[in-house]
Structure 1
Amino acid sequence: MKAIMIQGTASDVGKSVLCTALCRILVNDGYQVAPFKSQNMALNSYITKDGGEIGRAQGVQAEAAKIDATTDMNPILLKPTGNMVSEVILHGKRFADMDAVSYRENFVEQVMPEVRKSLRRLEAQYDVLVLEGAGSPAEINLKNRDIANMRMAHETDAAVILVADIERGGVFASLVGTLMLLDDEERARVKGIVINKFRGMKELLVSGIDWLEEYTGIQVLGVIPYFDVQIEAEDSMALSSLRLKKSQHEEFDIDVAVIRFPMISNFTDFDPLLGEPDVGVRFVSSLKELKNPDVIILPGTKNTIDDYLWLQETGLAQEILQRARRGKKIIGICGGYQMLGESIVNQQTVENGGRTYSTLGLLPIETVLIGENQTTQIKGTNYAGQEMKGFVFHLGCSTPTQPIQSFICLEDGRQDGVYTEQVIGTYLHGIFQNRSFTREYFNQIRVGKDLEEVSSEIQSDYERREQAYEMLDYHVRKHLNMDKIYELLDESM
């Protein structure tokens, strides 16, 4: 099997996006290609067709490769729950909660056979594997238990491309420092360097690139200019860069405030809003930042109870209630939906078993947190007769305390969520990717503000995503030495 691996000098340097680009480039060039990341730590999940949970990045990369995502593409997903503990997802299903020490000292070696099985299954189906590393391969305190970087390169005999983010500053130091901290065998695997997120004149980099190539003996395969392609991010670090998509100093006709919970998950639910005309999206975590938005969204969270207590401690809970009394629109998704109800009963742990928390009371529901996570892709029809699709993964069950208008009637006849003209609650992730619903929802707000409605003729989410992948192919292919990439792939066989 041909394999190539993208590793980075740090998190959020662009590894995921570059892997996505390579998946689309290779499939467009006639290869059957699959993504792979042995171990992922993220709160942005992707639900496969069979209900498995993997990192969002591998789901996106599979889409770019024009294949269905499977749990083999990300056999281990770690979802931080706080206090140095993560929920371990193995082959798409919850395995256990583990602290960092127990995971690294006891679990990593035990799980390697499962990782190898995933690799063998992918090897049997695809021509090329595009592997993504995690963080940096040069974390010397973690290297002996690191199964996401060089160990996977050795397992697959993959050539490694090292990526650095020039926006951070110190790009040459980060590249040289990373290479210096690798041992000889690891360093020999690094066959190319990519400088990412470049802004400015490439000519000004030439002398630095010449020095870097001479000093390291490794070829720079590309300088990729910053490109605001609409590819979903995985790491919450990317939230800080959303200001690059829409200026925070620009005035928008419609102001949307998304509560940035400490354990926010699947913030990519809001990516489609960045392309909605005259809509500004802000992630807020304090009273000062909240201001007076037209819409307040409570997103998904990995820890509903702790994040609701945080909402109270910050004073945001009371302010959300005040805004609701003034008629502002409120939307809750997954954990945020649960917070909009009257109460949450936590029956997950012995210490807190049966403890009831009074919540915002904006929707007539009660939630009990018990049992296993529910993970599945879903389809249905909303209150207005529009088709809705997306995925759910949540803990617990929400029950109405009085007759309600459900948000969605699912294909199997079950009901999801609650709809009122002012408040919407739902377990559906990907709600705004249903573009007709999104356009109509914001057109209603436009009418209420005496603004002109925007045409309902819109690009579907599938068309938008396909366009983004093709634009990414064009952009990266233009600035990356693909002849060298194919040469490295041939050598990896």
Structure 2
Amino acid sequence: MAKVIMAQGTMSGAGKSLLVAGLCRIIKRDGYRVAPFKSQNMALNSFVTAEGLEMGRAQVMQAEAAGISPLVCMNPILLKPTNHTGSQVIVNGKVLGNMSAREYFSYKRKLIPDIIKAFRKLNEIADIIVIEGAGSPAEINLRENDIVNMGLAEIVDAPVLLVGDIDRGGVFAQLLGTLLLLTKEEKERVKGLIINKFRGDASLLDSGIEILEEKGGIPVTGIVPYMEIDLEDEDSLTERFDRKEKGKVDLAVIRYPRISNFTDFNVFEQIPEVSVRYVTSVGALGNPDLVFLPGSKNTMGDLEWMYQNGLADAVRWLAEKIPVCGICGGYQMLGEEISDPERMEMGGTMRGMGLLPVTTRLHREKVRRQVHGTINRMDGIFSVLTGLDFEGYEIHMGSSGEREAVFVTGENKNVYGTYVHGIFDRGVIASALVNTLAEKKGITLTGTENGNCMDYRDYKEKQYDKLADILSKYLNMEEIYGMLREAHIG
């Protein structure tokens, strides 16, 4: 039977995902079989396992830190928002259907058997399971049907680390206020407090920590500094969207309201002198060297948004001068037409941008698969990728006709489309593309002298080790190991 520990936060974005990843890497390096678990995740960034099942990318990141393959049992419930009040509900990697927030709130306790089954499966392969909560356990209006915070902790009998974010201010109020709103039984599960994202001299917190421990009755298990760690973050709270700087090679990503799987572009951020900017207006678009249209959870709605704010016309105009590449939903938008006879999104038919010779029909059945192979022959800037081996995955609700090519191009050799997420993650592919863009401008990029940069997978491995090194220094791991409790599943 595996031992468990759970990280809960005082709010979304307190740093639970990275903390769980770091604990997984520390525990792995200490010689244990460790696995992450999150019963319910809400995210637009998702991944397809080797079995063709869909799960949240945060648990994929944590599995990588743990040194194991991602399994859908690490994230049995995934909610992918389709609008402000509803989500697509994915259970055990397959679409259950679309529900409003109220419908899901009433339904979700029916999913407890799926959560227990997934946890038991993980329990068979791990010595230690590190569980991540969601939001805050002090959301008292949601306590009745909770299946992801204290409700889950009770199901598996998990001790809890409560994480507060000092960078946003009011960390003592965060932690003490959360403890105050817990029931007596819930508070007894909290075994340690963690102050996260601290900048400065930690000794200045001494008096505050003394009062915090006295009033809360729970020890502070660590004060973690603000870390410059480059790993995938929660898509709704990412700071990537705020970056405005332009590098020698400037890549612009259209940030529509339901942008998904923008992790496709993280690989370019590790290349010196390359910028990745997320833009929401024509004015912010400027004159980039390449425009990406990323995935979307509501392709027709996001395309309508692009027509309304002028970005669709701006992309068509830029496509005469620079490369434009659409991935998944972005690929569908670049085509001639999108039809939705089964009303999976908006229903009816919508004209595309007309830059690629494809028509898309949305279907109820979602395509989910990992793919690998060799990039097909192309003209234009992307011709440098011809013949390179790739691997990635597909997640989409529509089909765009029979196609053997990885990338589809049209009469305009500047425009490219693909359904493959993660296709740029290999260093040789990413560096070949940005070096070609640099050559077109008559410049040379540093750090890619041999025509290659580090594979994104290798880059992330170094980041996991860096994360573990920092947490090992600032967390009391002896106390944390002492908190571990053998799971007793209800």
The answer, yes or no, to whether TM exceeds 0.5 is yes
Q: How big is the shift at 1:480?
A: 0.6
Q: How big is the shift at 1:88?
A: 0.7
* 2:148 match: secondary structure: coil
Q: Does 1:374 align with 2:379?
A: no
- Residues of 1 paired with 2:344 and 2:417: CA distance? 29
Match of 2:429 among 420, 423, 437: 437
Any conservation in 1 of the 2:375–2:407 contact (CA below 8 Å)? no
Q: Which residue of 1 aligns with 2:381?
A: none
**Cα RMSD between the aligned structures?**
1.8
Q: Does 1:35 align with 2:36?
A: yes
Q: Taking every aligned residue pair, what percent have the same amino acid on both sides?
A: 47
Q: Which residue of 1 aligns with 2:229?
A: 229
Any conservation in 2 of the 1:12–1:235 contact (CA below 8 Å)? no
Q: Does 1:415 align with 2:405?
A: yes
Structure-2 change in CA distance of 1:351 and 1:446 (3 Å): closer
Any conservation in 1 of the 2:191–2:219 contact (CA below 8 Å)? yes
- Residues of 2 paired with 1:139 and 1:151: CA distance? 12
* 2:237 match: secondary structure: helix
Q: Which residue of 2 aligns with 1:265?
A: 260
Any conservation in 1 of the 2:45–2:261 contact (CA below 8 Å)? yes
Q: How big is the shift at 1:351?
A: 9.8
Residues 10-31 of structure 1: CA deviation (Å, up to 9, x unaligned): 1111101100011111111111
- Counterpart code for 1:417: F
- Residues of 1 paired with 2:405 and 2:441: CA distance? 32
* 2:484 match: secondary structure: helix
Residues 340-373 of structure 1: CA deviation (Å, up to 9, x unaligned): 11111112229965x2211111111111112311
Structure-2 change in CA distance of 1:230 and 1:83 (3 Å): closer
- Counterpart code for 1:164: G
TM-score if structure 1 supplies the norm length? Answer: 0.92
Any conservation in 1 of the 2:301–2:346 contact (CA below 8 Å)? no
Q: How big is the shift at 1:125?
A: 2.1
* 2:209 match: secondary structure: helix
Q: Which residue of 2 aligns with 1:156?
A: 156
Q: Which residue of 2 aligns with 1:139?
A: 139
- Counterpart code for 2:71: T
Q: How big is the shift at 1:491?
A: 7.5
5+ unaligned residues in a row in structure 1: which ranges? 401-405, 407-413
Q: Which residue of 2 aligns with 1:356?
A: 349
5+ unaligned residues in a row in structure 2: which ranges? 377-385
Residues 435-461 of structure 1: CA deviation (Å, up to 9, x unaligned): 211111111111110102532242222
Number of matched pairs: 473
Q: How big is the shift at 1:417?
A: 3.0
Q: Which residue of 2 aligns with 1:46?
A: 47
Q: Which residue of 2 aligns with 1:333?
A: 327
- Residues of 2 paired with 1:14 and 1:111: CA distance? 26
Q: How does 1:48-447 map to 2 (within 5 A)?
A: 48-105=49-106, 107-238=107-238, 240-241=239-240, 243=242, 248=244, 250-325=245-320, 327-349=321-343, 353=347, 355-383=348-376, 384-399=386-401, 414-419=404-409, 421-447=413-439
Any conservation in 1 of the 2:252–2:285 contact (CA below 8 Å)? yes
- Counterpart code for 2:306: L
* 1:231 match: secondary structure: coil
- Residues of 1 paired with 2:69 and 2:223: CA distance? 31
Residues 138-175 of structure 1: CA deviation (Å, up to 9, x unaligned): 11111111100001111121110011111111111111
- Counterpart code for 1:173: A
* 1:230 match: secondary structure: coil
Q: Does 1:448 align with 2:440?
A: yes
- Counterpart code for 1:430: G
Any conservation in 1 of the 2:198–2:224 contact (CA below 8 Å)? yes
Structure-2 change in CA distance of 1:351 and 1:180 (3 Å): closer
Q: How big is the shift at 1:183?
A: 0.7
Any conservation in 1 of the 2:22–2:471 contact (CA below 8 Å)? yes
Any conservation in 1 of the 2:300–2:346 contact (CA below 8 Å)? no
Q: How big is the shift at 1:278?
A: 1.0
Q: How big is the shift at 1:338?
A: 0.6
